[in-house]
Amino acid sequence: MVCVLQCYYVQRLTCTFLSFHRPILVHNPHLDGLKDDVLYHFSLGTETHDLPAMFGDVKFVCVGGSPWRMKSFIEYIASVLGMEDPKAEYPNICAGTDRYAMYKIGPVLSVSHGMGIPSISIMLHELIKLLHHARCTDVTIFRIGTSGGIGLEPGTVVVTKQSVDANFLPKFEQVILGKTVMRNTDLDPGLAQELLECSKELNQFDTQLGNTMCTMDFYEGQARLDGAFCSYTEEDKQEYLHNAQKAGVCNIEMESSVFAAMCKMSGLRAAVVCVTFLDRLKGDQLTSSHDILNNYQQRPQILVGHYIKKHLTHKKDS
């Protein structure tokens, strides 16, 4: 018993020590020489805003494509954490621009990122610098999104094990000065497991762990038959998607690879949690009703909300 307790306290102390010392890493010696760092696409900056005062307490960041969804997430998380004020409007912190929207309540930040790798990449560069300038530590980040499933019942939530490219390889190609550099797309396996546990506790919808294919477009890049251009057959499409399935791909979206790569480089614990809107083996068009799709897209919010509440409650109790 003494031994178990000792192990417990050593573990807690180690966690506390580690978490206290897990800063946000930027890898850019040039930043130190900047008097003012203008985070242009957020309409924020180090000279114009007191970033440590505004963001220093952030411990959880949720990002997603749609600005509306990220506003609804902050309202949802406020109610989950019992921090809602029925009279309060949650102001958009990036109101000076329409590139991204950003909301905050307590230790939770919610940011939209638009669609596709380039759009989320700009947002992540500026978010990582923001968290660094704000001297945040021990931050966990989630991408909550929508996706096409492969062989899954629509509405299934997929927690990404590895993000893979269009050839099912776990890598992200970053072009720097015209040369291609390969980056790792591993996500935090412990965090993924904790999210699966949360789903079991909630018991409201199916959640699976699987690989997520990240593509450069929604139509030809995902073997859809309903774009403006299509040079392949239904059989070609089925063969490609079945090969993806054999490689462990459960769903397809458009941001996970650069999200995984950049979060890993900056020391952020990261997870990708996407609901599937349809089974791509059975079709391409999103014909489900608005109500059904709306219900589906709340599922990643519910799962991540449960995780955040659990962690904050645990911290308060301990």
Which residues are annotated binding-site positions for phosphate?
99, 143-146
Residue 274 contacts residue 147 (beta carbons within 8 Å): yes
The residue (of 202 and 265) whose beta carbon lies closer to a second copy is 265
Strand partners, 164: 213
Distances in Å between the Cα of 49 and the Cα atoms of 43, 53, 74 are 10, 9, 22
Place of tokens 């989320």: 120
Task: Out of 94, 105, 124, 274, name the contact with a second copy by CB under 8 A.
Answer: 124
Reference 153, options 304, 281, 300; nearest CA is 281
Identify residues 272-311 at the interface with a second copy (CB under 8 A).
285-287
Alpha-carbon Rg for the chain, nearest whole angstrom, is 20
Extract the tokens encoding 76: 């949802």
CA distances from 44 to 40, 110, 135, 230, 260 (A): 7, 16, 16, 42, 24
Is position 129 an interface residue for a second copy (rule: CB under 8 A)? yes
Nearest distance from C-beta of residue 225 to a second copy, angstroms:
4
Is 28 a residue that touches a second copy (CB under 8 A)? yes
Q: How many residues bind a second copy (CB under 8 A)?
A: 67
- Residue span binding a second copy (CB under 8 A) among the ranges 15-23, 184-192, 196-204, 212-220: 212-220
The identity of residue 4, as a single letter, is V
The least CB distance from residue 48 to a second copy, in Å, is 11
Question: Which residues sit at the interface with a second copy, rule CB under 8 A?
Answer: 26-31, 34, 36-38, 40-41, 65-68, 98-99, 114-119, 121-122, 124-126, 128-129, 132, 166-168, 174-178, 215-221, 223, 225-232, 234, 236-237, 240, 254, 262, 265-266, 285-287
